[in-house]
Structure 1
Amino acid sequence: MGRPEKPIVTSNRALRALAEWLREQRTRAGQNYRSLAGRAGLHPTTLQRAASGETVPKLSTVLGYARACDAPPEEAKRLWKQARYEETRARQGGRTLPAPPPALARDFADLSAGLHELYEKAGSPSLRTMEKRAGGYGALPRSTAHRIVNRQAMPHSPAQFQAFLHACEVPEPDVQAWEDAWSRAWRHEKQDADAVDAVADGISRLTRNQSLHATRSHVRGTKIHPVSDVDIVSVPAGPPRSSELTVQVPTGLGRSASARSKRLGFRPTPDIKGQPALPGFNQEGQPRRTPHRPQARDGQLSLPIGTS
């Protein structure tokens, strides 16, 4: 039977269980590694390393080991997936919290975390393997699978979601629970989108109403609040006596006029020398009397806001 094997030393409990199971199957079969290698079509050192518990072996090696011992490959695969999953979690340093079960998944964040964990529990298969398991070309493209497992995208249709479940080899009794979770997440997303659209529509209507109110209002000299170096004056309701909004602009704006105009929402216009200046003023801060531009009168800047 050859030399006795070394003790299994590992912190991965699932890997220890896998290594012990492989050794038990070889002992039951009464095979040494040389004869086992002939039946498995693998090198004896490869088989011995697979049962050492030092690292998680390849799935193909574990399945070949099990077949050579006439052991059930389903059990070998189950133990390998658990060992690979614990290895992946240990490599992440335990920073990732467990995802909620599919019955508790409510939105895309929950479902995305669940799909990522589902992929890891499947042994983190390669994208090529996932594409093949999903049903071939087009069912689950590798680029799509990459975005899903990295929590960058969601399956866009029930067929693609089912293809992802098949690629992760989800047991048939568990498929319905995942499909229900997918439906809940999409309903939740639609409700959020409808709520955002309703808020945006309300803000749009409010903005239009305020704009109409300002257009039909007249200007009085009551200050509301200062904004930087500019004082905004109130626009109370009343009969339309003016179509201008007046703001207080101090003299001496100088070269900082462009920055102040940006804070007010004005578009800087170049002066004669090509330098930006507040509309209606030159670089010295003096009012520029140009038709169709805001005009300054008595320290105030009048801006057209519409006609009644």
Structure 2
Amino acid sequence: MGRREIPLESDGSPLVDLALWLRGLRDRAGLTYDEMSAKVGVHKSTLSRAASGTTFPDYRHVEAYARACGADVHEARGRWATAQRRIFQASRAGGGRVDFRAPRPDLVVDAAELREAMRLLYQQSGLSFRDVEQKSRELQTERGGGYAVARSTLYEVLAGRARPTRRVVMALVEACGVRNEELTVWESAWERVKRQEQRRDHLYGDDWAPYRAPDPENDRLPERWGPVDPDDVLRNY
């Protein structure tokens, strides 16, 4: 048997309602995520995440989940569409906007793409910055270590005012419910971006320094870099 899922209680939210419906399909089918993955060719962590209740899943993953359980795929698509509509309506009522694209950390190649994937994950989680801070600290306490992030730091990163450090990335994704193999995908994304930035900026160390806008009057850069460009956010700290 696979690892037990984190329990969910119905709170009337569209994400949780959809997740509970999906979990009910799996319970009735009596399948593990490994067995479901073998049936439909979708990774078990992707199927598990679709029923996590923390992020809005891709409709294709919801359909694959239903198909693996022998359920009605058209009903699955309908429930996904209903959840999407409810989230959109709630967002409009609050003056916000929801982006339903799925985060793809496996495709990330630079800091901008990593930040965009983080932003999508955060937006679709339904959590506030305060929630992420609290959840990350709770996880850190439970494990006796790991990553926690202050809400102000997370805000600065997602707003593009600070670099996404390993600590911030992993604290966010874990607080948003990412587990198991998908954690490795996010950490690998961060490592790729770090290596790219090190090659460009000749940076070393375990983490990146916070971003500071270049000062054309006082900053002195090596001549091989040419004149200071105030709009180049990747060169100077």
Q: TM-score scaled by structure 1? A: 0.35
Q: Quick check: which one's strand share is greater? A: 1
Q: TM-score scaled by structure 2? A: 0.43
Q: Quick check: which one's helix share is greater? A: 2
Instruction: From the CA coordinates, give the structure whose radius of gyration is larger.
Output: 1
Structure with the larger RCO, 1 or 2 (CA within 8 Å, 6+ apart): 2
